[in-house]
Structure 1
Amino acid sequence: MFNDIGPLELVTLVVLAVLVFGPDKLPKVIQDVSRTIRKIRDFSDSAKQDIREELGPEFKDFEFEDLNPKTFIRKQLDSDELGLKEIRSGFDLKKEMADVTDAVNGRDSTSSAAGSAASSASAASAASSRGGRIDMTKKPEPSAADDRPPFDADAT
């Protein structure tokens, strides 16, 4: 319940409680607080029991902690009914990035890069003919897919 309270904070709370309530009233306040906490716990336990009874026997293994989204997702992912571990292990990000880098640099890779477009392929072949460098000062050659009119900033 109080996992993030350190010893210094606990001592500070005790000193504040003694100063606020006084040493003679402090035991009575502690008893009242503990009695209130016990009543709240009993009330929540009885409410949980009533809900379980109303849900019926098909929900006998229902846990209220599963209503927390983090707990629910963690429980569903740990069961791995969807085969997520196979998908996760089958996806190699380093290999995919190396394939894309090879395609951009114009090197021959062992597997084809699925996401390379025709413009990047032509730029890569032109770069390989110039020793691996791309001239950024020249405008790219217009391709058949680039038949759009020029952008007019004043018109928008």
Structure 2
Amino acid sequence: MFTELSPMKVVAIAIVAIFVFGPDKLPEFIRNATGVLRKVRAFADSARQDIRSELGPEFKDFEFEDLHPKTFVRKHMLDGSNLAGLEEIRNALDPRPELAEITAAVRNTADSRAPGTVSLAKDAQATLPTRHAFDPDAT
């Protein structure tokens, strides 16, 4: 929750809190805020215990953190026994082999081009087209 708070941000928040609440009321505000946080934590813990007791003994190892999608995938898909299936999916979705085949086909076609086709490669001996002399008096 507070992982993005750097020490500089904490100091800035403390200075703003001193200006907003004043040095007289700040300790009382901190006591009230910590009391509210304790009550919220106690409420959340009791709700968790109620849910666990309602689920029954077969869900005694149930963790609410496992419901997060990333945690669920890590726990059930990446547990080590199913890594072969994951590699198959990853290889099936990898476009690199198909792109390599297409690139090789295009290069082979360009190398063995038929007469009369235009080369897209730059030639070292290519020269600029010659311009015909223009005679303004001839018109």
Per the shorter chain, which TM-score range?
A: 0.5 to 0.7
Q: Structure 1 residues 45, 127: closer, same or farther in 2, change over 3 A? A: same
Describe the superposition over 1:49-84 as per-residue Cα deviations: whole angstroms up to 9, x where unpaired. Answer: 110111112212211112222222232331253733
Find the aligned partners of 1:103 and 1:36 in 2 and give their Cα distance. 69
Aligned position for 1:102: 104
Using structure 1 for the length normalisation, give the TM-score. 0.61
Listed one character per residue, the Cα deviations across residues 36-60 of structure 1 (whole Å, up to 9, x for unaligned) are 1001001000100110111112212
- Give the counterpart of 1:128 among 90, 112, 120: 112
- State the match for 2:16 in structure 1: 16
Deviation at 1:102, TM superposition (A): 1.8
CA distance in 2, matches of 1:33, 1:12: 18
Runs of 5+ in structure 1 lacking a partner? 107-123, 137-156
Greater RCO, 1 or 2 (C-alpha within 8 Å, sep 6+): 1
Cα distance, 1:21–1:78 mapped onto 2, change above 3 Å = same
In the superposition, the TM-score normalised over structure 2's length comes to 0.68
Tell whether 2:84 aligns with 1:83.
Answer: yes
Structure 1 residue ranges (4+ consecutive) displaced by more than 6 angstroms after TM superposition: none
- Quote the residue 1:112 is aligned against: none
Structure with more helix by fraction: 2
Structure 2 regions of 5+ residues with no counterpart?
120-139
Equivalent position SS for 1:71: helix
Pair member with larger Rg: 2
Q: What is the one-letter code of the residue matched to 2:5?
A: I
Q: Which residue of 1 aligns with 2:28?
A: 28
Cα gap change, 1:130 to 1:29, in 2 (>3 Å): same
